[in-house]
Amino acid sequence: MNRCETGFRIGKTENYLVNKLREKGFVHLTLFDPEVLDTRNLAKLAERSEEMGTDGFMVGGSTVYFKEMMDEAIKAIKSVSDLPVIIFPSNITSLSPYADAVFYMSLLNSLEWWFILGAQIHGSFMVKEYHLEPIPVGYVVIKGETSVATVGRAFPLPENKPNIVASYALAAQMLGMRLIYLEAGSGAESPIPPNLIRVVRKTVDVPLIVGGGIRSGQAAAQAIRAGADIIVTGTLAEHDPQKLAEVVEYSREAAKERAPALSRYIDARL
């Protein structure tokens, strides 16, 4: 099926991600923040990112307050690339009919009902009306000093208590969320520690997205070896697009070692 009207069936974009994962052992997504980039730069960067091997785009930012910004950013990417564009929402103002899919996320460690379930309820009819494919994601923010933690009122989870973080991830899986996102926050000083990724990976049976503070090939490879399936970089593309090739290359190498670990959740869903 091409469009996921209800969220009960897996749609085109989610299938694309899972098939890429099966094919290469990892997926790389490039995140663009429409508040930081104007549409011309964005189109240029999207083109270069695709050349360097990214698998798709996420669009969003903690302080994107105008829907028009999302519309224009997504249209700019679509004008140069056929790769899927996934909305990475901070609120209902992030929804746009021009994207392929939306990470239909619950910020599990928010202290506010709005970010856990309220925005999802208020945006549900819009997602349906726009024919956006909702991909259910359990979103966990680890670091405190970031925009996402502040705007989302996230209660920072301790990096050195991996079992606590893993219990959030497991709850998300048990609630039916099909991806778990471990977020350090855009521009975080350091990425999610490998040991934390390792423990969460061992606990859950759904693909794991890891992002925030990944700025080198080594950091990406470390995350993948620890069990990350989908690597997200944002700041990197804005400041040093050339580095993206390095991230993709190191990720590819690191992913070669982990094919057997993937089958337990990839085969289960295809």
Binding residues for ligand 1GP (CB under 6 A)? 31, 183, 186-188, 211-214, 232-236
Angle at 165 between CA 247 and CA 171, to 5 degrees: 110
Residue with smaller CB distance to ligand 1GP, 4 or 231: 231
The residue among 94 and 186 lying less far from ligand 1GP, judged by its C-beta, is 186
CB 215 to ligand 1GP: min, Å? 7
Provide the minimum distance between the beta carbon of 253 and ligand 1GP in the complex, in angstroms, as a whole number: 20
Nearest to 177 by CA among 107, 260, 97: 107
Which residue minimizes CB distance to ligand 1GP? 211
**Shortest reach from residue 197's CB to ligand 1GP, in Å:** 13
- Residue 54 CB, nearest approach to ligand 1GP (Å): 12
Smallest distance from ligand 1GP to CB 190, Å: 10
Reported for 241-244, long-range contacts at CB under 8 A and 24+ positions apart, including other chains, are 241/45, 241/48, 241/49, 241/52, 242/52, 243/215, 243/216, 243/217, 244/30, 244/48, 244/49, 244/52, 244/53, 244/54
139 vs 265 by CB, closer to ligand 1GP = 139
Q: How far is CA 60 from the centre of its chain?
A: 10
User: By C-beta, is 4 or 31 nearer to ligand 1GP?
Assistant: 31
**Residue 4 or residue 26: which is nearer to ligand 1GP going by CB?**
26
| Vertex 140 angle, CA 88 and 217, to 5° | 75
Query: What does the alpha-carbon distance between residue 265 and residue 166 come to, in Å, rounded to a whole number?
Result: 17
Q: Which is nearer to ligand 1GP, 95 or 232 (CB)?
A: 232
Say how far apart CA 95 and CA 90 lie, in whole Å: 9
Smallest gap from Cβ 31 to ligand 1GP, in A, equals 5
Task: Reduce the DSSP state of residue 188 to 3 states and report it.
Answer: coil
**What does the alpha-carbon distance between residue 88 and residue 7 come to, in Å, rounded to a whole number?**
17
